[in-house]
Chains A and B, each alone.
Chain A
Amino acid sequence: MLAYTPFLDPIDANGIWWAMLPPLAILIAVVYKALRLATLRGYGWQVLLMAGQIVLAMLLLGAGAYLFIQHVAPMVLPVRL
């Protein structure tokens, strides 16, 4: 096993891939709010708010997809195994 080299080798985080999504949401909010706000007053709070909204939306979409696949879809399209 060769030594890990940052930026060349991937990190060993396949099991905690979801932990990479909140930082991504924060970075998206950092750039988008810097571009979109009329003034940068209250910028930090706006970034936190948008990042929170993105994470919440992802959680809700995930929960919705889970409910649909596990409970709704089998009722609509019953599969016999």
Chain B
Amino acid sequence: MPTTIEYEPIGFNPVAGLLAFLVPGAGHVFLGQTRRGVLIGAGVLVMFFGGMLVGGLAVVDSRSGRLENRISFFGQAAVGPVAIAVDRLHQSMFKGMDLDTNKVRALNPGEVLLGAGDPRNGRGFPVIATADPARGEGPPYVRSQGKVQEIGLLYTVIAGMLNLIVILDALFPGGMARGRAGAVGAEVEAGVRTAGADPVEAAGRAGA
């Protein structure tokens, strides 16, 4: 008996797409695919913060002196407001004005960040000064170098790129129907399940 496989219609759900950008996985939760959304969100966020754990704060830097960091931020930003907030935090709280060049930059070893309220500063913005080793001063964080920097970048950029696919999948539910239909067809041939055996999942995919 021939088996008919119904292809899922391609929908358009801007609310799900927006939610997927705001919080990884939230778009799929909105579409009724809670378990799928939780797995996606956990995977993307663990990957992003895992990259920061390996490479430190320096891997998320949209105004870095390193070209690869600046380019990588475009990929990292696809993780959503979390990545953008981390970068904003980095720029505003962990960098200072170099009074010799009048440019904001990250600190090198042997330097200290004097906050706007520091009595040694006297200005309304954070500035970079020479650290006093006797007082245990130093930069607010150590900039990663070499392989840990590369691995940290890799984790955070892949997190963003995967979330971009997630956003598109939430924006166009059922848009990857060809691949899924193929998988369903293979299972039908193997006698594992029949097409449309999971109506709840299918309804969610269609973007109800």
Q: Which A residues from 2 to 51 make CB contacts under 8 A with B?
A: 2, 5-14, 17, 20-21, 23-24, 27-28, 30-32, 34-40, 43
What sequence of 0s and 1s flags, for each residue 186-208 of chain B, a beta carbon within 8 Å of any chain A beta carbon?
Answer: 01000001000010010000000
Count of chain A to chain B residue pairs whose CB atoms are closer than 8 Å in the complex: 106
User: Among B47, B53, B57, which residue has its beta carbon within 8 angstroms of that of A31?
Assistant: B47
Tally of contact residues, A, Cβ under 8 A: 29
Q: Which of B58, B145, B162 has the most CB of A within 10 A?
A: B162
User: Among A2, A9, A21, A27, which residue has its beta carbon within 8 angstroms of that of B56?
Assistant: A9
Q: Which A residues from 34 to 80 make CB contacts under 8 A with B?
A: 34-40, 43
B198 with A14: CB separation less than 8 A? no
CB distance from A3 to the nearest CB of B (A): 10
Q: Which B residues from 125 to 181 make CB contacts under 8 A with A?
A: 136, 138-152, 154-155, 158, 162, 165-166, 169, 176, 179-180
CB distance from A79 to the nearest CB of B (A): 27
Asked if B50 CB lies within 8 Å of chain A CBs, one says: yes
User: Among B36, B180, B183, which residue has its beta carbon within 8 angstroms of that of A34?
Assistant: B36
B50 with A34: CB separation less than 8 A? no
**A17 CA to B47 CA in the complex, in Å?**
16
Evaluate whether A9 and B141 lie within 8 angstroms (CB atoms) in the complex, with A14-B147, A27-B47 already known: yes
By a CB distance below 8 angstroms, the chain B residues around A7 are 49, 52-53, 56-57
A residues engaging B (CB < 8 A)? 2, 5-14, 17, 20-21, 23-24, 27-28, 30-32, 34-40, 43
Closest 5 CB pairs of A and B: A10-B144, A17-B147, A31-B43, A34-B39, A10-B56
For this complex, 5 residue pairs linking A to B, each with C-beta atoms less than 8 Å apart, are A7-B57, A10-B149, A17-B148, A27-B43, A28-B47
User: Beyond A7-B52, A10-B143: 20 further Cβ-contacts under 8 Å?
Assistant: A2-B138, A2-B139, A9-B57, A10-B54, A10-B144, A10-B148, A12-B148, A13-B54, A17-B148, A17-B150, A20-B54, A27-B47, A27-B50, A27-B155, A28-B158, A31-B39, A31-B44, A38-B180, A38-B198, A39-B201
